[in-house]
Amino acid sequence: MKILAIESSCDETAAAVVEDGRTVLSNIVASQIEEHRLYGGVVPEIASRRHAEAIVGVVDEAVKTAGCTLEDIDAVAVTYAPGLIGALLVGVNFAKGLSLATGKPLIPTHHLRSHIASNYISHKELKPPFLCLVVSGGHSHIVEVKDYTDMKVIGRTRDDAAGEAFDKAARAMGIPYPGGVELDKIAETGDDSAFPMPRPHVDGSPYDFSFSGLKTAVINLIHNRRQKGEELPIADVCASYRKAVVGCLTENFLKAAEDLGCTTLVTAGGVSANSLLRRELERLCDGKYQLYMPEKYLCGDNGAMVGAQGYYEYLAGHIAKSDLNAIATLPINENRF
């Protein structure tokens, strides 16, 4: 079954054709990052307008690159939640029009479920159940994936998402948006023990995260140094901070795995491209847990992951009606269509 998948929840206009949830026939991503960088973050109205401009070309290219015509496509999948509402509406409405024009079923897909599904492309043998660390710019969750469309959140962030924590600290150091990527590169050259950082815990909730205190600690450190006119050893700050954020993620994730008796661990989302997170998980899981991480090109937002998850949503009978709407906030275990 060939699914044409569309993603427009944030600042990437993306489309892909995916066969049977596992094989990518095309994967086209048009990024708007350069423009949002001018403002230090994603500007929602600009995002919506750029999606509107790009979507026809991106979908057309995805279909052509896959060597298909619209007639070869069996269904259209689209991200309907969560995300920037104006951005989501562009993809949802385009997909609805396409579905109406072609008579193919419309599959509503949850963005975080799709991030998890990027692993089905990278690892053909991977099947639920497993425990997944979903870490993106907007979310940080530990999710028990019981089945392809049946999930339970075990832990979540109480404040900033991991990607947000990286981006905000990077911004304070003058690193352009989205700073998480660059901070990761700079950290590779720094001394991670140069600046001891707090290791925040959420009282009574061992699987929940809190990054705001850590972010404040690094911002205070930067400001204090600047006020005193002292030079800031950026690589050391990046390395120390990255170690602390990654430490929080791995500690809670592995505790949840141990307590729940999960033996298969998976990561997903933009932050799962982080080099230290990948190395640390490999080290901690070695011989104890089966670890799966998406290939780096599938960590950030893309259409292929929507096509992968869309396939399993279709098998579960999740077909949208013509009144499908975009939803800005929707728990990962809920369906609203």
82 binds ligand KG4 (CB under 6 A): no
The entry of Zn ion, ligand KG4, none that residue 274 binds, CB within 5 to 8 Å by partner kind = ligand KG4
Query: First and final CA of the chain: distance in angstroms?
Result: 22
Compute the distance between CA of residue 101 and CA of residue 89 in angstroms, rounded to an integer. Answer: 18
- Buried-exposed string 97-127: b where 16+ CB fall within 10 A, e elsewhere: ebbeebebbbbbbbbbbbbbbbbbbbbeebe
- Choosing from 8, 119, 136, 210, the residue that interacts with Zn ion (CB under 5 A) is 136
Partner whose footprint covers residue 66, from Zn ion, ligand KG4, none (CB < 5 to 8 Å by kind): none
Task: Pick from 270, 303, 307, 310 the residue near ligand KG4 by CB under 6 A.
Answer: 270
Question: According to CB under 6 A, which one of 274, 292, 303, 318 is a site residue for ligand KG4?
Answer: 274
**166 contact choice in ligand KG4, Zn ion, none (CB below 5 to 8 Å, kind-dependent):** ligand KG4
Please name the residues in contact with 40: beta carbons below 8 A apart, sequence gap of 6 or more. 171, 176, 177
Task: Please identify, using beta-carbon distances, which residue of 239 and 304 lies nearer to Zn ion.
Answer: 304
Residue 174 burial (C-beta neighbours within 10 Å; 0-12, 13-18, 19+): exposed
Is residue 7 part of the contact set for ligand KG4 (CB under 6 A)? no
Residue 26 is inside which H or E element, if any?
A: strand 23-31
Measured from the CB of residue 247, what is the shortest distance to ligand KG4 in angstroms?
14
Cα angle, residue 282 at apex, residues 279 and 287 outer, rounded to 5°: 155
Encoded amino acid at 63, one letter: V
Q: Which of residues 122-181 bind ligand KG4 (CB under 6 A)?
A: 136-138, 163, 166-167, 178, 180-181
Instruction: Indicate which single residue of 301, 303, 308, 314 sits in contact with Zn ion (rule: CB under 5 A).
Output: 301
Residue 133 sits at the vertex; the CA angle it makes with 152 and 320, to the nearest 5 degrees, is 50
Residues that bind ligand KG4 (CB under 6 A): 10, 115, 136-138, 163, 166-167, 178, 180-181, 184, 269-271, 273-274, 300-301
